[in-house]
Amino acid sequence: MKNLFLIASFAVAVVVLAACSSKMSNTSVAYSKINPLETKVDSVLKLMTLEEKVGQLNQYNGFWEITGPTPKEGQAAKKYEDLKKGLVGSMLNVKGVKDVRALQKIAVEETRLGIPLLFGFDVIHGYKTISPIPLAEAASWDMAEIKKSAAMAAEEAASVGLNWTFAPMVDIARDARWGRVMEGSGEDPYLGSQIAVARIQGFQGEDLKARNTILACAKHFAGYAFAESGRDYNTVDIGESTLQNIVFPPFKASVEAGVRTFMNSFNELNGIPATGNKYLQRQILKGDWKFDGFVVSDWGSINEMIAHGYAKDNKQAAEIAINAGSDMDMESSAYIEHLADLVKEGKVKESDIDDAARRILKVKFELGLFDNPYLYCDENYEKETVGKKAFHDAVLEMAKKSIVLLKNEKELLPLKKSGQKFVLIGALADDKTSPLGSWRIAADDETAVSVLEGMQSYKGNQLSYVKGANVAEGRTQFVWETKINTTDKSGFPAAIAAAKGADVVVMVLGEHGLQSGEGRSRTDIGLPGVQQELLEEVYKVNPNIVLVLNNGRPLAIPWADDHVPAIVEAWQLGTQSGNAIAQVLYGDYNPSGKLPMTFPRNVGQVPIYYNYKNTGRPVMNEPESVFWSHYIDEKNTPLYPFGYGLSYTQFEYSDLELDQKSFSGDGSIEVSVNVKNTGKYAGKEVVQLYIRDIIASVTRPVKELKGFEMIELQPNETKKVRFIINKKTIEFYTAQSKWEAEEGDFNVFVGGSSVKTIDANFQYNN
């Protein structure tokens, strides 16, 4: 190892030896002039040439040949040369201890200064052991379980040599056509902020130097989910109120939770690409929020400013991006090729390069890479850790908690455990790859437990399986031509025949796991292919259907809601999917999930979300004319609202009480409500609190989630749930362009979904 480590350690030893604790917490790193970490970073920076500093800002995609024959020509060879010259700060998409170690060895042992690399990877919902897609996890509303899931993913990823995940995606999304809704926490900024914090705490843990923790990355900053017409990468044009009140909160919460990295986004925001956006990165993120980690660009997004029509070439793109506060260049090669020249030409300040390099070096110190660059490189530990049983148990728990019961008439569910004849229909029922969902790059195909396997583990009934119809043609992860639809109905007769004599038909329908995710926007969000027809044909011969949905986004399924007696939202639940679904269907787990995103009746209603504005012509009960805000061919209301989800038991809300009718200044009100389990099963309920600010300097939504609590009740048991409302609860970004509480009248609503609530009023006086 090179002498740099000695120099860095020496500097620290001299300055504040006692403070140099290896237990340095990622969330409590306070920077000041005497901070030893700052001193360490400066001691390294002082040794670096301009080119080496720029090198720290350069991130390359992995080149696998490094552990085999040395790349001879082209891009890989250039990357390899740059790596040896110390002109690479980070790699992405390198996986496995062997490959990571090989590259780290070059960085540490062959470059002049021996600065270790960061290894980033999209650990979005697990590394090899896959947990439910993030939208599904969000449906659990269970912060402890979500944190655990992220911690488990971090442990598995760190064991293969990785030290950085490009997660969580904290984009608030209102448009189900956008394929990446599967990767986020849905439509609500309050829930989204809580989940962002849980995930960051899970990934980063208490100690970034521990070998089971990795860096988190809040992405995509900002506005990415507001792409016009739900088409990925499309233009984003939103006003300041939406940006501040809806888009920013989870990002701000991420900074407050100590997230160490941010990723900017592909989209333009109000005419300026996010990657070159000074307002976002310098003013808001690094200025107002005092973010002291670093910002990585999205893949090639610096170069994409040319296509946006914002930079004339890669060199100007580099100039714009660094000046706007993008610290690391992912795969544009814009920084490595042009930044040093731009400094020499006076177009970029060297102090800005220093600032970016300093941020990156600081994070490397925080990870402990300067103490031990091979911390994450232990092949035995890798073998013991990847896919271990505890991970499978954890993803099963998470999967069960992510399921949402949408409909259950005639108590069709839970299923009886014996004496029944069941038929399972649908290609997805027998699919061991689709449940892994999108964004699971390291997982192996065919490794999920299918619904068929899960159901087969219950032996008391007669169970047969018929495919009926495929979902799509082609299913390879990165094949662009993955067909959304199939027209083949040749399997219908067998499915219909099998359904005829069954007590219950369980149909597993929906999207293949690769029909959502990046670059997978849809204009039709119904059941793909011929599945809708299959459902209707089977229904004609046997209406006793339990529909199990697999999907990465809200679907528009009005026919199913009208006809099918039981509907279970099972998303893409990961490695243990089939076991989780079977346990819920058989009642060994009583479903407790609540939707984190509104389901429309019709794609034409999209974007549809619960926290909409009232308009000047709101819904009329008995309209006398057409002149109010509505459609002439569809209701305004959703099929299933935000916060909605049933249980096998029932809950009754009563006695909503406020301990006072008004508060002022820093005072508060306690809201309490009684929740009773009136059904016959023990069950969990997510009690939700919403408010409405009736008149404000900027119009406010008809409802805003401000609190929630999960409780568990035995049959007949009642619990009192309490919430506190204070100034923070009612603050928003006002017409004065700041976050503040305005005085006036408010409604408070409490219930088991955003629409089924009981309410009261209160007042706030300044």
Taking the complex as a whole, how short is the minimal distance between the CB of residue 75 and ligand NOJ, in angstroms? Answer: 17
C-beta of 298 vs 431, nearer to ligand NOJ? 298
Contacts with ligand NOJ in 488-527 (CB under 6 A)?
Answer: 518
Q: Answer yes or no whether residue 268 interacts with ligand NOJ by CB under 6 A.
A: no
Strand 164-165 versus strand 217-221 pairing type:
unpaired
What is the contact mask toward ligand NOJ in residues 525 to 554, using x (rule: CB under 6 A)? ------------------------------
- The secondary structure element, H or E, covering residue 166 is none
* Beta bridge partners of residue 504, listed in sequence order: 422
**Cα–Cα distance measured from residue 575 to residue 396, given in angstroms and rounded to the nearest whole number:** 8
> Does the protein bind ligand NOJ through residue 219 (CB under 6 A)?
yes
The strand pair at 744-751 and 757-765 is best described as antiparallel
Residues numbered 158-217 forming contacts with ligand NOJ, rule: CB under 6 A:
166
Contact 605, 598 (CB under 8 A): no
Is there a contact between 15 and 42 (Cβ–Cβ < 8 Å)?
no
586 near ligand NOJ (CB under 6 A): no
Q: Looking at beta carbons only, is 166 or 640 nearer to ligand NOJ?
A: 166
Kindly tell me which of 166 and 335 has the beta carbon lying closer to ligand NOJ: 166
The order of strands in the sheet holding 261-264 is: 217-221, 261-264, 294-296
Which residues have CB under 8 Å from 749's CB, separation 6+? 689, 690, 691, 692, 703, 757, 758, 759
Give me the residues paired with residue 668 across strands: 726
Give min distance, CB of 80 to ligand NOJ, in A.
21
* Contact mark string toward ligand NOJ, 706..745, x via CB under 6 A: ----------------------------------------
The string of DSSP letters for 595-645 reads: -SSPBPSSGGG-S--TT----SS---SS-SSS-SS--SSS-SS-SB-TT--
Give the Cα separation of 102 and 91 in Å (integer): 12
Structure tokens given for 537:
């044909």
Can you state the angle between helices 350-366 and 36-45, rounded to 10 degrees? 120
Paired with 675 in beta bridges are 653, 719
Phi, psi of 223 (to 5 degrees): 90, 0
Sole residue written with tokens 């976050």? 739
- Please give the structure tokens belonging to residue 89: 């700060």
Residue 597 CB, nearest distance to ligand NOJ (Å)? Answer: 19
- Closer CB to ligand NOJ, residue 59 or residue 688? 59
**Alpha-carbon torsion (495, 501, 502, 505), positive or negative:** positive
Determine the Cα–Cα distance for residues 211 and 190; give it in Å rounded to an integer: 31
Strand order through the sheet with 718-726: 651-658, 668-677, 718-726
CB of 119 to ligand NOJ, least distance (A): 13
92 vs 318, which CB is nearer to ligand NOJ?
A: 92
498 CB burial (10 A radius; 0-12, 13-18, 19+):
buried
Nearest to 264 by CA among 292, 224, 216, 317: 224
Is 465 a binding residue for ligand NOJ by CB under 6 A? The answer is: no
Number of neighbouring beta carbons within 10 Å of residue 74:
9
Please identify, using beta-carbon distances, which residue of 145 and 298 lies nearer to ligand NOJ. 298
Least distance from ligand NOJ to the Cβ atom of residue 180, Å: 8
Residue with Cβ nearer ligand NOJ (379 or 518): 518
Q: Does 358 bind ligand NOJ (CB under 6 A)?
A: no
Residue count at the site for ligand NOJ (CB under 6 A)? 7
Is 298 near ligand NOJ (CB under 6 A)?
yes
User: HEC string of 416-485?
Assistant: CCCCCEEEEECHHHHCCCHHHCCCCCCCCCCCCCCHHHHHHCCCCCEEEEECCCCCCCCCCCCCCCCCCC
In this complex, which beta carbon is closest to ligand NOJ, that of residue 153 or of residue 710? Answer: 153
Pairwise CA distance, residues 686 & 711, whole Å: 6
CB of 300 to ligand NOJ, least distance (A): 8
Residue 122 interacts with ligand NOJ (CB under 6 A)? Answer: yes
Q: What's the min distance (Å) between Cβ of 237 and ligand NOJ?
A: 20
Rule CB under 6 A: which of 66-105 touch ligand NOJ? 92
CB-closest chain residue to ligand NOJ:
166
Q: What's the min distance (Å) between Cβ of 727 and ligand NOJ?
A: 36
Task: Return the number of the residue (166 or 221) whose C-beta is nearest ligand NOJ.
Answer: 166
Residues serving a catalytic function are 298
The secondary structure element, H or E, covering residue 567 is strand 566-569
Q: Considering the complex, what minimum distance in angstroms separates the CB of residue 376 from ligand NOJ?
A: 19
Q: Which residue's CB is nearer to ligand NOJ, number 236 or number 406?
A: 236
Tell the smallest beta-carbon distance from residue 162 to ligand NOJ (Å). 13
**Of residues 388-447, which lie at the interface with ligand NOJ (CB under 6 A)?**
none
Identified binder of ligand NOJ from the candidate list 80, 127, 299, 723, rule CB under 6 A: 299
Positions touching ligand NOJ (CB under 6 A) are: 92, 122, 166, 219, 298-299, 518
